[in-house]
Each structure stands twice: as structure tokens, then as C-alpha cells.
């Protein structure tokens, strides 16, 4: 199948990170928050993602084997820091897992990855009730989801 370029227009106020979808799935070659801007999109061999989510990871979710088993692909992350939290641990079914808890003096180093809505749902299913997904502002200024003590 030849690569076709389609043009789409996003309304004013849509944040970057939105992706367009076609029958084969497409992605934005150029992202912008500008109103009524035309975006070039190209076919992408994927499930046709509509929206991506930033997720701050600091433990088992950074393991490529876990990524492949939970949401089906490896995800490259960008280093970032979450302030006012610190690392801790939790025992689940006899195994020890990383966990973060609020701490005014703390900070946690991790990675920011981008996942689709359906991937985020799979990650929610992977995490137990011991974890809660909350939205945070990272040191970089990025807004991301993170799993903390539930």
C-alpha cells in the first residue's frame, strides 16, 4: 500500500498529543495547538490511536518485558523527576514491588512514556488496588499520570 497523505483540521484549543485515525491508523507528522491548522498524516501500522497519555514510571513498568506483556510493546521514556514523593515498597502476593508515597522532602527519578487510552486501561488492570493513578506535575513542567499508594 502506498503512503497517502491526508489533511485534517483540529479545532482551536485542542492540546498537542492528539493523533488522527483512519482505516489503517494514522499519526500526525506535525503537532501544534494552532486553530484550524492543517496537519499532514501518514498511514501507521497500528490500532489507530486517538489520544496519548503521559505516564510517569519508576518501577516495574520501566521493564521492557513487563511493557510487552502488559500493553504489547516496548516504550521509550524521557527522564524526569517527581518532587514531594519518595520511594517505598509494598508486598503483594508474597513479592515486593516499588511504590511511591507523598514526602515533602522527597523526589523520585523515573521516565515519562506516552501510552494510548486503551494501553492505559491495560496498565490500570495490571496495577492492583494497592495503587491509585493520579495526575501530577513533574519537574519538567509536564503533566502526567503516576501510580501511587492506593
Q: 100 and 27, same structural domain?
A: no
Q: Among all residues, which ones are annotated catalytic? A: 127
> For residue 55, how many other CB atoms are within 10 A of its CB?
22
- Which CATH number fits the domain that encloses residue 105? 3.10.490.10
Give the domain extent around 89. Answer: 52-149
Do 56 and 40 fall into the same domain? no
Give every CB contact of residue 34 below 8 A, 6+ residues apart in sequence. Answer: none
- Give me 24's grid cell: 489503517
Claim: this prediction has a pTM higher than 0.85: no
Query: In this predicted model, what pLDDT tens digit does every residue of 1-46 receive, in sequence order?
Result: 333 333 344 344 434 444 443 333 334 434 444 434 343 333 333 4
Q: What's the structural domain count of the chain?
A: 2
Convert the pLDDT of each residue in 33-88 to its tens digit: 443 434 333 333 344 545 799 999 999 999 999 999 999 999 999 999 999 999 99
Return all residues near 30 (Cβ < 8 A) that are at least 6 apart: 39, 40
Q: Say if residue 123 is in the same domain as residue 59.
A: yes
Amino acid at each position: 500500500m502506498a503512503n497517502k497523505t491526508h489533511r485534517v483540521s483540529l479545532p482551536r484549543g485542542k492540546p498537542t498529543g492528539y493523533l488522527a485515525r483512519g482505516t489503517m491508523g494514522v499519526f500526525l507528522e506535525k503537532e501544534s495547538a494552532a486553530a484550524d491548522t492543517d496537519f499532514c498524516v501518514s498511514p501507521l501500522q497500528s490500532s489507530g490511536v486517538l489520544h496519548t497519555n503521559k505516564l510517569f514510571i519508576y518501577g516495574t513498568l520501566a521493564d521492557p518485558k513487563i511493557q510487552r506483556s502488559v500493553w504489547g510493546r516496548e516504550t521509550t521514556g524521557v527522564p524526569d523527576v517527581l518532587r514531594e514523593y519518595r520511594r517505598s515498597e509494598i508486598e503483594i502476593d508474597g513479592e515486593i514491588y516499588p511504590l511511591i508515597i507523598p514526602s515533602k522532602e522527597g523526589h523520585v527519578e523515573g521516565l515519562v512514556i506516552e501510552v494510548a487510552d486503551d494501553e492505559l486501561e491495560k496498565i490500570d488492570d495490571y496495577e492492583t488496588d494497592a495503587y491509585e493513578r493520579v495526575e501530577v506535575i513533574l519537574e519538567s513542567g509536564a503533566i502526567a499520570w503516576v501510580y501511587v499508594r492506593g
